[in-house]
Amino acid sequence: ARQALATARATEPALRNGLRYIVYNLHEKASTIQEAREVVKSFAEEYIHLLKESKRKVIQYGAHRIKKGSTIMTHCHSSLSTGIILEAHKQGKEIQVFCTETRPRYQGRITAKELVEAGIPTTQVVDSAMRWVINRHDVDIIITGADSITSQGTVINKIGTRLLALAAREMDIPFYSAINLLKYDPETSIGKLSEIEMRESKEIWENPPKGLNFLNPAFETVSHELIDGIISEAGVFSPAVVYLIVKQEYPFMIMNDEMI
C-alpha cells in the first residue's frame, strides 16, 4: 500500500514526502503496534497541518514581492501563485494580470475566473502569445506554481512554463516559482531523473484523422538558471540553495542509506 501511494503521481512528491514523514517518526516514536497506529494517525494529521501552514507562508512571502501598480503574468492554475496574487490585491495593491489559457486542459481558465471574481483586472491569452504579451504590455513580474523541485533547484511544472521562463529571461523580467518545499523530490539528490507524464491524444484532438500521431507531455522542467527566485514557506531564495534550505527545514526528506 505504501508503494502504491508513493508512486501515485510521478511529478507530485508531496504525498511521498508525507509517507516519509510518518515513517521517520515511526522509527523515532513507536515501539509497539498500538503505538505505531497512534503515531501514524498523529503524524498524518501533523503533516496535513504542515501543508496548510506552509501554503499560508508561501502566499504571504510571495505577496511581498508584488509592488503597487504591477502587471503580473502567470501560467496554468496553482493555488499558490493565484493565492499570492489574491493576497496582493487584498493588501490594496492595484495590479493587473495576464494569464495563459494553458492548453489542452485550459487550467488557466480556473485562474482567470478566480481573479476576475475577486475584482482583479485580468486578461487571458493563448499560450503562444506569451512573449508578445510580455513585450507589448510591460509585464513587471512572472509568478507560476510548481509541481515539484529537485535538489539542483530545477522545477517541474505545466508544459509551457519553460517557454514563459525563456521569454522572461530574454525580456529581463523576473521569473519566480512558488512552491511548498514539501514538494521537494529527495531522490533527485542521488541522480534520479524526474519523470514527465504523457497524457492521452484525445485531450488535443478528440476525432483526429487516421494516421496522425500525437505527443502530449503534461509537464516540463524549468532549469534553475531561468528562475530568479523560489517563493517558499522558508522565504524567497535562489534555487541554487534549495538543498540546504530543505535540509534545515525538513531533515526527514534528506536521503540516507535506508531510503535508497
Q: Which residues are catalytic?
A: 76, 147
Over residues 78-88, the pLDDT tens digits come to 999 999 999 99
Instruction: Give the residues across from 221 on adjacent strands.
Output: 156
Distance from C-alpha of 4 to C-alpha of 25, rounded to nearest angstrom: 20
Distance from C-alpha of 101 to C-alpha of 121, rounded to nearest angstrom: 16
Which residue type is seen at 100?
T
Domain ranges of the chain: 55-253
Which residue type is seen at 77?
H
Distance from C-alpha of 64 to C-alpha of 133, rounded to nearest angstrom: 24
- Cell numbers found for residue 149: 523541485
pTM above 0.85, yes or no: yes
- In three-state secondary structure terms, 222 is strand
Over residues 37-53, the pLDDT tens digits come to 787 888 889 999 999 99
Maximum distance among all Cα pairs of the chain, rounded to whole angstroms = 65
User: What is the reported pLDDT for 177?
Assistant: 99
Distance from C-alpha of 142 to C-alpha of 177, rounded to nearest angstrom: 9
Which range is least confidently modeled, 5-14, 176-185, 221-230, 242-251?
5-14
Taking alpha carbons only, the member of 144, 59, 64, 58 closest to residue 108 is 144
The secondary structure element, H or E, covering residue 220 is: strand 219-222
Class of domain 55-253: alpha beta
Over residues 99-124, the pLDDT tens digits come to 999 999 999 999 999 999 999 999 99
User: What is the reported pLDDT for 1?
Assistant: 42
For residue 176, CA distances in Å to 57, 107, 130, 169, 212 come to 16, 19, 16, 11, 37
User: What is the reported pLDDT for 130?
Assistant: 97
- Cell numbers found for residue 173: 523580467
Task: Let me know if 197 is exposed, middle or buried by CB neighbors in 10 A (0-12, 13-18, 19+).
Answer: middle
DSSP character at residue 193: P
- Cell numbers found for residue 145: 506554481
Over residues 125-140, the pLDDT tens digits come to 999 999 999 999 999 9
- Rounded to an integer, the average pLDDT of 4-22 is 71
- pLDDT of 10 > 60? The answer is no
Find how far residue 92's CA is from the centre of its chain: 26
